[in-house]
Structure 1
Amino acid sequence: MQSELAFSADDLALTRLAVSPMWEVVTSFRLLITGSPHPVHRPWLEQVRPRVAAAGLDAGWLAQLIPASGHLADFLTPSPGEPAPTLDAELAAIRATPVELVLHDIDLLGEPRRAAMRADPESHLAQVCAEIETYWELALAPYWARIRAVLDADVFHRARQVAERGTAHLFNDLHKSLSWDDNTLRMVRRQCILSRETAGRGLVLLPSVFADTVLTWSCPPEPPQLAYPARGIGTLWEHRPVQRAEAIAAILGRSRTLLLTELEAPASTTELAHRTGISAAGVSQHLTALRDAGMVSAHRAGRSVLYARTAIAESLLGTAA
């Protein structure tokens, strides 16, 4: 099966790149519920899967709207109105989805258990957004600095491709299932047919660290979306040695530098105290100072709080992608 998306000069002029938190929500959740291991994302899966299960999200609305394969509920990935919308902005767009579009997506999913959504779509849409916020805090927010660095690097690379070698080279390099010829983007082995007749003008290209294939979205008059696997995910979860630790310790102090080093993966106060030998009270005090300085972020995970390095800390430690 093959889709063909024709481009006029106006369509090319309206083609753009964006980073979307909701595309990462959708693709990462699908990866989680497959239950299978992954050669790259195994460290993330091992950390996140128990949290998601403990919160009951593996049996909630998201599990119904994001099946392990096949069609996804398109209203979960609204068209990004800017290059890098926040999760809050995308959730606002989801809440504002017309009821008829929500019901259309539910019908395409075709499962009897979605009858509750059809009976009261507005109320249940609010529940879906609440689940997304919980999932974000558990599964993505603690890792967002790393994920965002990879996505931004991909966008920079693609923009440079267009500047140096043209749009045709960009399209031909995105994914093996895509090819560009005669002002037409062709997609092979697609489950859903995408054509200019059934899509809006232009195209939004969205890199994703969790997508393992090309995914498309179309809801005229909005431009169609094409999510593709981002470059550089092979090293996303690899251990990255801290650079200039002694020099950083001279400024921040050894205890705070040690805590930042230990936050290679998100951790709680108790875990950090156990690993570093610093008292729980001391860890809490240092984390508060680091949080006030914008170097760590805190994320609720059930009864505990997970701390994670921010992009500022990643850059300071010399580990930014």
Structure 2
Amino acid sequence: MRTRLTFSVHDLAETRFAVSPMWEVVTSCRTLAAATVPEPHRVWAGQVRPRLAAAGLDRGWLADMIPPAGHLPDFLNPSPTTASPELADELAAIAATGPEQVRRDLDQLAAERDGRLSPRLRSLHRAPETHLPRIVAEIEVYWQLAIAPYWDRIRAVLEADVFHRGRQVAEHGTADVLDRLHHTVRWAGDCLQLAERHCPVTRIETGAGLLLVPSVFAWPRVLTRSVAAEPPQLAYPARGIGALWERRTHAQLEALAAVIGRSRALILAELDSPASTTELAQRAGLSAAGVSQHLTALRAAGLTSAHRAGRAVLYSRTGLADALLTAQT
């Protein structure tokens, strides 16, 4: 399907970018639901799938609502009110969704599933206000297991994309940026043409402007959201995702070790993927007690963060630590 989104001068003036945690939740769930996980994300999927299965989220609300293809429930992606909303803000918007919107989304899912919904989704259709808090609670758990340990890395890619597009706007104008967004998106005259669309996007009922949302998990396609009285959203693949999960080499680790100590530098280097204290001890060849002490110091310095995953605590590098390590390579 091909669709056309017309623009007035006001619509162009209201076009903006936003980094949305919920778009990463929804698109990452879709990535995991695929029969074959796209190549850029297989390392990530291999790490998070066992955690999600242990928590029962591989058969939870999100797994039920987010198919590998087709309609995505619009209520899961509320319009960002700022350029970089917090997850808590978006979850509050989801919890406040009107029952009519929830039922419209479920009706669309049912239409694509030969009129059938699972018992869980039928109960959501009957009483959205009862089940939305449970969905929000599940999203919070999913975030801690699948996204939070990697969020600094993901957000850095998203913000770099927005910075790049912002420079394009300054140098060439908004229309040029829209024309270069993705191979299925083309600017023509006063409208944006979108090819390979599952659902149409029009100006008939939507609000003014356009929200452009970079996403690491949307790759390789552009996803859209079109809800009455709200600006349409385009979630597009962010630049730089090809190297997002690659294990980094640290050829000049000695330089960083001279500043923070060899053991702490080694721990940071081993945190290319989030790990527990026990896992880090095994990777680095250090005692668990020693690793725990080093992690406490690194966390106090803003170089690591901790995220609960069931009974375990996973540690990951922060953006500051990534910058230090990158500077040494």
Q: Which band: TM-score by shorter chain?
A: over 0.9
One-letter amino acid of the counterpart of residue 261, structure 2: G
Counterpart of 1:108 in structure 2 is 108
Counterpart of 1:175 in structure 2 is 182
How big is the shift at 1:286?
Answer: 0.9
Give yes or no for contact 1:179–1:187 (8 Å, CA) kept in 2: yes
Give yes or no for contact 2:205–2:229 (8 Å, CA) kept in 1: no
User: Could you tell me the TM-score, scaled by structure 1's length?
Assistant: 0.96
Deviations 1:68-120, CA, capped at 9 Å, x for gaps: 21101100000000001111111111111112211221121113222110222
Higher mean alpha-carbon deviation, 230-239 vs 78-87, is at: 230-239
1:228-267 counterparts in 2 under 5 A? 228-242=236-250, 244-267=252-275
How big is the shift at 1:244?
Answer: 4.5
Higher mean alpha-carbon deviation, 211-220 vs 199-208, is at: 211-220
Give yes or no for contact 1:174–1:228 (8 Å, CA) kept in 2: yes
Counterpart of 1:154 in structure 2 is 161
How big is the shift at 1:266?
Answer: 0.6
Percent pairwise identity: 59
What is the alpha-carbon distance in structure 2 between the residues aligned to residue 300 and residue 189 of structure 1? 39
How big is the shift at 1:180?
Answer: 0.5
User: Could you tell me the TM-score, scaled by structure 2's length?
Assistant: 0.94
Check 1:22–1:278 CA distance in 2 against 1; reply closer, same or farther (3 A cut): same
Counterpart of 1:48 in structure 2 is 48
* Residue 213 of structure 1, aligned match among 205, 217, 221: 221
Counterpart of 2:92 in structure 1 is 92
1:1-321 counterparts in 2 under 5 A? 1-110=1-110, 111-113=116-118, 114-211=121-218, 212-242=220-250, 244-318=252-326
Give yes or no for contact 1:33–1:58 (8 Å, CA) kept in 2: no
How big is the shift at 1:245?
Answer: 2.4
Note the aligned Cα RMSD (angstroms): 1.4
How big is the shift at 1:319?
Answer: 6.4
Q: Provide the aligned length of Structure 1 versus Structure 2.
A: 320
3-state DSSP of counterpart to 1:216: strand
How big is the shift at 1:174?
Answer: 0.7
What is the alpha-carbon distance in structure 1 between the residues aligned to residue 70 and residue 52 of structure 2? 22
Check 1:37–1:139 CA distance in 2 against 1; reply closer, same or farther (3 A cut): same
Give structure 2 stretches of 5+ with no counterpart. Answer: 111-115
3-state DSSP of counterpart to 1:72: coil
How big is the shift at 1:198?
Answer: 2.6
3-state DSSP of counterpart to 2:72: coil
3-state DSSP of counterpart to 1:239: coil
What is the alpha-carbon distance in structure 1 between the residues aligned to residue 317 and residue 3 of structure 2? 42
Higher mean alpha-carbon deviation, 70-79 vs 242-251, is at: 242-251
Give yes or no for contact 1:242–1:319 (8 Å, CA) kept in 2: no
One-letter amino acid of the counterpart of residue 81, structure 2: G
What is the alpha-carbon distance in structure 1 between the residues aligned to residue 184 and residue 284 of structure 2? 47
Give yes or no for contact 1:201–1:223 (8 Å, CA) kept in 2: yes
Check 1:115–1:70 CA distance in 2 against 1; reply closer, same or farther (3 A cut): same
What is the alpha-carbon distance in structure 2 between the residues aligned to residue 136 and residue 24 of structure 1? 9
Deviations 1:242-288, CA, capped at 9 Å, x for gaps: 36422322221111111111101111111111121211111111111
Higher mean alpha-carbon deviation, 58-67 vs 234-243, is at: 234-243
What is the alpha-carbon distance in structure 1 between the residues aligned to residue 327 and residue 80 of structure 2? 29
What is the alpha-carbon distance in structure 2 between the residues aligned to residue 119 and residue 184 of structure 1? 39
How big is the shift at 1:38?
Answer: 2.2
How big is the shift at 1:22?
Answer: 0.4
How big is the shift at 1:146?
Answer: 1.2
Higher mean alpha-carbon deviation, 30-39 vs 223-232, is at: 30-39
Give yes or no for contact 2:185–2:192 (8 Å, CA) kept in 1: yes
What is the alpha-carbon distance in structure 2 between the residues aligned to residue 33 and residue 112 of structure 1? 17
One-letter amino acid of the counterpart of residue 290, structure 2: G
Deviations 1:186-208, CA, capped at 9 Å, x for gaps: 11121111111131100000011
One-letter amino acid of the counterpart of residue 275, structure 1: R
How big is the shift at 1:35?
Answer: 3.6
How big is the shift at 1:24?
Answer: 0.5
How big is the shift at 1:12?
Answer: 0.3
Give yes or no for contact 2:31–2:37 (8 Å, CA) kept in 1: no
